[in-house]
């Protein structure tokens, strides 16, 4: 697998008229506030148009795809074409997919019944109905991934916070795994301060130093505390510089 970092952190897939001005707007703003790079396509193709290479590359060059399935998501051939591409990259292991069922029961999506069934009847009457089996399979595969349902949350803001926090932690963990925290801007100063607190250069076998040191790492979520912790575990414990 290539070690090249993704161009985008998150690709947002959504049905514009349903969620662009509310949920997607709030989610995109919060992700950007945490310096998480998003791709949000504000143009929907009309019937018969195909996904551009630029849009396909945006999906391929993302770490996550947040797919917001709203009541009219499956009514859009554009959304379904996009979803097929997303699930293809997910199967290749290059993309993590997070389904969000917004105002729609996941069971309706999984089994494609009621409103979703009616939407697919209209698709099957189209000239390009040969795509329908691919759309159905992509939607089923998506619904089989553990996701969030908006009805389980008190309000959208809490759901947005949860999605953002999970993505932030996963990105931080991935960054630490790729580099072990090395060569990241600003990390050296944090580590030097912690090493002084841990007194790593002391003789750990002397009786005077047989004590437990507790160092608290505090930071606002997404600001690097998990990365600092990962570096400590790798550099201190795995190299046995202190007993544990």
Give the side-chain half-sphere CA count within 13 A for 30.
Answer: 22
> Residue 82 catalytic?
yes
Q: Are strands 62-69 and 96-101 parallel, antiparallel or unpaired?
A: parallel
Burial of residue 12 (CB within 10 Å: 0-12, 13-18, 19+) is: buried
* Burial per residue of 26-35, b for 16 or more beta-carbon CB atoms within 10 angstroms, e otherwise: bbbebbeebe
Q: How far is Cα 236 from Cα 61, in angstroms, rounded to an integer?
A: 34
Tally Cβ neighbours within 10 Å of residue 159: 20
Give the 3-state secondary structure of residue 39.
strand
Give the 3-state secondary structure of residue 67.
strand
49 vs 21, 34, 44, 77, 103, CA distance in Å?
Answer: 24, 34, 10, 10, 28
Q: How far is Cα 107 from Cα 146, in angstroms, rounded to an integer?
A: 12
**Are the C-beta atoms of residues 97 and 65 closer than 8 Å to each other?**
yes
Residue with tokens 């950007």: 32
**Catalytic: which of 30, 44, 56, 82?**
82
Mind telling me the catalytic residues?
A: 82
């Amino acid at each position: 697998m290539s070690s090249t970092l993704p161009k985008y952190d998150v690709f947002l897939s959504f049905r514009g008229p349903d969620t662009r001005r509310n949920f997607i707007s709030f989610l995109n703003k919060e992700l950007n506030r945490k310096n998480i790079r998003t791709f949000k396509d504000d143009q929907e193709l009309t019937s018969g148009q195909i996904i551009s290479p630029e849009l396909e590359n945006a999906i391929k060059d993302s770490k996550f795809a947040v797919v917001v399935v709203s009541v009219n998501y499956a009514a859009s051939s554009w959304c379904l074409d996009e979803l097929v591409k997303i699930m293809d990259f997910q199967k290749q292991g290059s993309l993590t997919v997070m389904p969000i069922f917004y105002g729609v029961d996941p069971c309706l999506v999984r089994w494609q019944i009621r409103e979703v069934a009616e939407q697919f009847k209209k698709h099957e009457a189209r000239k390009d109905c040969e795509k329908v089996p691919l759309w159905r399979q992509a939607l089923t595969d998506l619904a089989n991934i553990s996701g969030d349902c908006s009805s389980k949350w008190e309000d959208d803001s809490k759901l947005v916070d949860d999605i953002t926090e999970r993505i932030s932690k996963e990105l931080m963990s991935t960054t630490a795994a790729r580099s072990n925290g090395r060569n990241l801007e600003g990390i050296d100063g944090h580590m030097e301060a912690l090493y002084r607190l841990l007194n790593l250069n002391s003789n750990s076998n002397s009786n005077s130093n047989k004590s437990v040191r507790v160092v608290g790492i505090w930071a606002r979520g997404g600001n690097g505390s998990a990365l600092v912790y990962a570096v400590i575990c790798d550099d201190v414990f795995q190299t046995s510089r202190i007993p544990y």
